[in-house]
Structure 1
Amino acid sequence: MTQMANPTAPTGIKVALSLDPPGPTFYIGRNACMPQIRATATVTGADAVALQGATYNWVVTLVMQNKKVPLSMGRSVAHPPINRTGGPTLVLPFTKVRGGQLTVTVTVRAPGLVSPTTPALPPSALTASRSDLQILGTNPTENDLIAEGASDLMIKIIRHESSTRQFLEAGSTAPGYPLFSQDHKGGVGLTQLTRPAPSDDEIWDWKANLRGGIAVLAKKTRYARNYLIGYASSSEFTELVKAYNEARARVVIPKPGMPPASPATPPLPLAVTLPAPTSDQIDRETLRAYNGYGRGLTDPDSKTVYYLPEYVAKIGTDGLLEVAVGADGRTGAAHWHENTAADREKFWRDKKLIEPNSKGQYIYPGDPDYVANVLKVAITDPPAPRVQSISGALLSTPER
């Protein structure tokens, strides 16, 4: 689409705008690089003398309009404005990985381009513009993700969260535009970054999105390690041990055939320990923290939100801490319990974090079986080297 401007230009003088490649659709490369687009302005109807000293002012805009992107929750992303003055050719100088509607406008001015009937008029301006252009995204391969530092666990998360897509694919309402989450919370891309809100880079640059996901996973890993290692000295576990010992002190077992002994010396309280968490437990707790807690319970006094973690101490059928008493009668060993999908659903219902709908159905705020669903994703024929455990390798990986 070519547009002429300024009626003071001599009759027959025109400027045409051409692009190489011609478009109108261009693609961000699979390696997250912007397309190279060469724009050329060609003036016809004027001789070389008339074009001496001509200036070409280029204005380029690139905007993702939210109305075109499903589930973007009103998010609009624009490339920084490009305004250049130079010659008749410009390779569009993109500085950010962005997509959306592309508009290229060129305005040509030259002292020789004056009205032949009124030479005193200022130089005329010839303008051409293309607004029928667009730049769309290209999804990476899993080998691309691995080359950028994605671990097996990160790959599993990406497969589960986005089916390894940064962008919508053919057949969708907006192929080539960013993939936003269906929960209407603004999560986007490969790793479905949601909180904090994804940056403009993380929306259009899959490498930035992956870096964001790796940083979140590393943060959640530190949380998981600290929680699991610190659980044995937490107030929750201390209270469970106290309740267990108090109940144990109240129980006096008489010998067979003899009346209950009275008075009796209560047993000594046990020093109860909990096994150190394994790397597998840390990975599972990390996954739960990544995107599996669902809705939490807010303490009205501290405003702290409590979630049901992946692991807690195992409670027996009597409602007390389950403890294996040591042979010395003075020590005991507690056990870990991995909360199941049913445990999580019950937690949400009991805490009234969800209510049944008109049909009596509970709509859960998250996937109660998120950890199992991520871990069952198969990784076949992994190229070497690969990071096998997030709990070990990513702790030394700085957030980027």
Structure 2
Amino acid sequence: MTESVLKTAMLADAALAKGPQLLTPSALAKSAAAAPNSGTPTLTIVHPKAGTSFSIDPTPAMPVIKCQAQIVGIAPDPTPTTAFNWLIEIIEPQKRGSCASAGVFCGYQEPGHGLLGGTWTPSLVAFRGGEARIRVTTTVGGVRLEAETRVMITGTNPPHADIVKMCGGNATDIARIACHESGMQQFAGGFPLLGGGGDTGIMQLCNPAATCDERWNWRANVERGVSVFNQKKAAARQYLDTHKIDGKWPNDMGLSNDQVLQREAITQYNGGSFWKWDEGKAKWIANPPPQEYFKKVMAASCP
């Protein structure tokens, strides 16, 4: 056996000892001079880097997360002609509490199947935040490769002026409630602002539970708060109408109908009732504890 033939045989034995390490047919076709790979192929996620933080902007709009994977360890690089399967999963940390909102689990999954070239930008069609786990898999020469990275998606508070506009103006009852409940903040540290019971966001939605969009989309949160307040106002009117004399709601504070309704509607938003009927006096009497919530709402100031 000649020296060159002997060397070739020894190299072949060494390659077999490592197991089959084959290039994809497409990669082989790309270069007639392609040499057998020199090592075990691995897959890595080049972008985004682990620990990167992305933000839902104040518009609000979900961030654009451009993902890029790379096959390393073999030549020529088969990445451009290889198909990849992607998956992004977003999971929000949970916090227990007495509100129905505390029982809401917000997750999101989006796959990207059979995508050539190692790049992918998920559409992120729903408002979600928390830890985002990005996984990618592919097969090279019969070997399954996979990689994973974890990043964060957090929320950004909007300007107060945008919230006030959705509430109909600074002087509206719903704007005052938003100010008192949260200081007009949807997020704290990038995550939905939660009250002690799990009340959520700008309007501190509790019962019924805040949806996932209402946790991560501040506009949805305010819109729901306005709707809840309007429902409470209608319920307050119905409640007060149970004792109405000559078109008025008689009360121990000498207030007009509008003032009586305002106090009841705001207090009902918090789950209480400002007024209780006194049969002996034939008047609506102010409830001492619920009065405090109304006073705090009216005193709230958000520049």
TM-score, structure 1 length as denominator?
Answer: 0.57
SS of residue paired to 2:192? coil
CA contact (8 A) 1:178 1:204 kept: yes
Partner of 1:153: 173
Change (3 A) 1:310 1:73: closer
Q: Which amino acid aligns with 2:286?
A: N
- Aligned counterparts of 1:50 and 1:22: Cα–Cα separation in 2: 24
SS in 1 for 2:90: strand
Q: Secondary structure at the match of 1:289?
A: helix
Distance 1:223 1:130 in 2: 50
- Equivalent position to 1:196, from 208, 212, 219: 208
In 2, are the aligned partners of 1:70 and 1:180 still within 8 Å (CA)?
Answer: no
Map 1:146-295 to 2 at 5 A.
146-151=164-169, 152-168=172-188, 175-182=189-196, 184=197, 186-232=198-244, 273=246, 275=248, 278-293=257-272
| Equivalent position to 1:126, from 122, 133, 145 | 145
Quote the sequence identity (%).
Answer: 24
Letter in structure 2 aligned against 1:282: L
Indicate conservation of the 8 Å contact 2:91/2:130, yes or no.
Answer: yes
Higher mean alpha-carbon deviation, 45-54 vs 157-166, is at 45-54
**1:169-207 Cα distance to aligned partner (Å, 9 max, x none):** xxxxxx22222221x3x3211111111122122222212
2:92 alignment partner in structure 1: 64
Residue 86 of structure 1, aligned match among 115, 127, 133: 115
1:339 aligned residue: 286
Contact 1:15 1:44 (8 Å CA) reproduced? yes
Higher strand share: 2
Q: Distance in 1 between matches of 2:132 and 2:225?
A: 29
Extract structure 1 runs of 4+ deviating beyond 6 A.
none
Distance 1:196 1:208 in 2: 14
2:30 matched to which residue of 1?
none
Pick from 154, 175, 180: which aligns with 1:136?
154
Q: Which amino acid in the other structure matches residue 178 of structure 1?
A: P
Structure-2 change in CA distance of 1:372 and 1:52 (3 Å)? closer
SS at match of 2:185: coil
Q: Which residue of 2 aligns with 1:310?
A: 274
- More helix by proportion, 1 or 2? 2
1:128 to partner: Cα distance: 1.8
Shift of 1:213: 0.6
2:125 corresponding residue in structure 1: 95
Q: Shift of residue 368 of structure 1?
A: 4.6
Q: Which 5+ residue runs of structure 1 have no aligned equivalent?
A: 1-6, 115-122, 169-174, 233-271, 294-308, 322-335, 345-366, 381-400
Deviations 1:264-318 (A, max 9, x none): xxxxxxxx6352663332222110111051xxxxxxxxxxxxxxx4245677xxx
Post-superposition offset of 1:48: 5.1
Give the conservation status (yes or no) of the 8 Å contact 1:38–1:92. Answer: yes
Partner Cα separation in structure 2 for residue 73 and residue 37 of structure 1: 28
Structure 2 equivalent of residue 76 of structure 1: 105
Deviation string, structure 1 residues 220-272 (Cα, Å, up to 9, x no partner)? 1111222334422xxxxxxxxxxxxxxxxxxxxxxxxxxxxxxxxxxxxxxx6
SS in 1 for 2:64: coil
Alpha-carbon separation, structure 2, partners of 1:106 and 1:98: 21
- Alignment of 1:375 with 2:301, yes or no, is no
Larger Rg: 1
Measured in 1, the distance between the counterparts of 2:182 and 2:111 equals 33
> Is the 2:57–2:63 Cα contact (8 Å) retained in structure 1?
yes
1:50–1:224 CA distance, 2 compared to 1 (3 A): closer
Q: Over aligned residue pairs, what C-alpha RMSD do you find?
A: 2.9
Amino acid at match of 1:38: K
* Cα shift at 1:49: 7.8
What letter matches 1:145 in structure 2?
I
Q: Number of residue pairs matched? A: 257
